[in-house]
Amino acid sequence: EVQLVESGGGLVQPGGSLRLSCAASGFPLSSYQMNWVRQTPGKGLEWVSYIGASGTPISYADSMKGRFTISRDNAENSLYLQMNSLRAEDTGVYYCARDLVAGAKGFDYWGQGTLVTVSS
């Protein structure tokens, strides 16, 4: 059974940092492109970042560039999102999501999400 399980969310002050993790099981992570997607009260669903199956290419939404870093460890079946310089508007639920094996056509599996709250 395919499973994606996020962890690492929590309450952080503005300007702070968090590292999110996504543990994958039930499929070979090394064969899939992966993404982070967030859902915020202000903007709804928002794509955050993408990483290719082997670690490249990498891309970010504009508002995350320079603050967020996506990475993966295929040997450990894990995906990561390092988030720095957090802002109130980054508050939301963060999901890891797997691309269809056929490529960038849709996210066929999602984790349950981890809540990030940026507040003083």
Nearest to other proteins of 61, 71 (CB atom): 61
Nearer to other proteins, 13 or 45 (CB): 45
| Cα 11 from chain centroid (whole Å) | 17
Identity of the residue, 13 or 104, whose beta carbon is nearer to other proteins in the bound complex:
104
Q: Among 107, 99, 77, which residue's Cα sits nearest to residue 5?
A: 77
Separation between Cα atoms, residue 49 and residue 63, nearest integer Å: 11
Residue 71 Cβ vs other proteins, minimum distance, rounded to whole Å? 19
Shortest distance, CB of residue 104 to other proteins, whole angstroms? Answer: 5
